[in-house]
Structure 1
């Protein structure tokens, strides 16, 4: 069963007769089949989230809904067809969930991933009241905004260079007075020069995928390449982040850098080789893959 079995005229409902309804469970089952055939990694989750979006209710309440009206079914089918073309789910919803916040996302800004929540959580746990926190390569602002939302940091500086991403970042940060958006490039040695030696926590989810690495269509066709690929070995930007961290952190300040799962040894070694960091530690994601590295400024 696919959506071809549910050819419904969205304009068929009128006030002169009862609205046409399809069982919601059947519509979702058809969507799951179509998304599975298209190679979507989480077809049921995506189908249910799209249905909840159309019906304007939480996903957990779908079980309480029996039928879906013709107009709603038409909108649902349209969204499912777009998702089957591997348009990111978050673009269709208009937002991405990250820890306790909803972020505005779309073409031109990197969609934050669940694994980055681990790095953000590590940083939040180490952010003392009144601290100064820097989020480099901020993108949509996921890390910076989560720190502002969940800590009592006095200042959270979110740095991004992409004009398109900056638009999303400013929109997302508008409700968080502690977040200061800075247009800047992490490869610039003078970046945030006024904060040299004054930062308590520095976090970064940089572009780190080695060039030439196969990526899903959602990434290849919709995430900006400059936010995904980090040079031939994936470490081009990370090398600069290590230098910026060494200059910006105060003695005892901490840094956390997300990286590709092939960099489980390389990034810790970069921090050790710099000579200005101690307590270098590698951290795995929930799947057990190397995901981020942390250290303390000596």
Structure 2
């Protein structure tokens, strides 16, 4: 075993002892990042090329700093995004939310669908839709100044930047001063804050101590922002347009009920992620 692989084994144990959920993956990913190789190429790093900065990176991860903050990037569907302090790190479970939305857009008989991503954070959802639905026009709304800066950097670096409009504002009041926006959108999508304030102590340190609080918590039951998004979606969507919202796996029985028939919604339903956990709700705007 070469030196780097031996160090990775030690690092894996340190991360496991610190409670890191995926210690071997993280140890290998950090080794690859520091040494400028792929994870499958760690064995090619010679003993004389071992970089002691690896242990600085391991110490940061041991303290539960997000892996993506240390490497400076996060992978989401077919994208590699720049992330760091001040922005919510996109999660793998959100990929299934976006996948459903992309399928819905492709099924629509609309040549150039118009989409809004509320609470865009790093821009992950907006960028994924723009990339995978090539004729779409996507608006991305973000309130937090730090997150808005990360979204701007990611969007500006994208070949699809010309079809994405980044806006600074409150997702629960999006386009309220633009009467022409009413009924103009085909899809509203959001991964909003949805953690109840009462559950602060149960949140993983990577999120609780490093993600923006604005991206995590939303009232006593976690549904305040989702209620606001329901009102915005009702205003922005055309008849037949669709809303897609992520939620906590404990909220599957609550969120579809926000989209009531007496408020003009039909086909409200909940969906499970790849781990078979309730993950997102969808609803369709009724015809007049």
TM-score between both structures, scaled by the size of structure 2? 0.91
User: In the alignment, what sits opposite 1:156?
Assistant: 138
Which consecutive residues of structure 2, in runs of 5 or more, have no partner in the other structure? none
**Residue 178 of structure 1 pairs with residue 163 of structure 2:** yes
User: In the alignment, what sits opposite 2:102?
Assistant: 124
Residue in structure 1 matching 2:58, options 55, 68, 80? 80
User: In the alignment, what sits opposite 1:93?
Assistant: 71
Q: CA RMSD in A?
A: 1.7
Residue in structure 2 matching 1:195, options 159, 175, 181? 181
Contact 1:25–1:66 (CA<8 Å) still a contact in 2? no
CA distance change for structure 1 residues 209 and 103 in 2, over 3 Å: closer, same or farther? same
Q: d(CA) in 1 for partners of 2:178 and 2:244?
A: 18
Q: d(CA) in 2 for partners of 1:48 and 1:225?
A: 29
Q: CA deviation at 1:58?
A: 1.9
Q: d(CA) in 1 for partners of 2:219 and 2:78?
A: 32
Give the total of aligned pairs.
Answer: 276
SS in 1 for 2:260: helix
Which consecutive residues of structure 1, in runs of 5 or more, have no partner in the other structure? 1-20
User: In the alignment, what sits opposite 2:46?
Assistant: 67
Q: d(CA) in 2 for partners of 1:191 and 1:78?
A: 49
**Residue 169 of structure 1 pairs with residue 151 of structure 2:** yes
User: In the alignment, what sits opposite 1:16?
Assistant: none
Residue deviations 1:116-175 (CA, integer Å, cap 9, x gap)? 011111111122441101100101011000001111233100000111111000001112
Structure 1 segments of 4 or more deviating over 6 A? Answer: none
CA distance change for structure 1 residues 192 and 164 in 2, over 3 Å: closer, same or farther? farther
**Residue 268 of structure 1 pairs with residue 256 of structure 2:** yes
Q: d(CA) in 1 for partners of 2:89 and 2:190?
A: 15
Q: CA deviation at 1:27?
A: 1.0
Q: Which has the larger displacement, 120-129 or 221-230?
A: 120-129
TM-score between both structures, scaled by the size of structure 1? 0.88
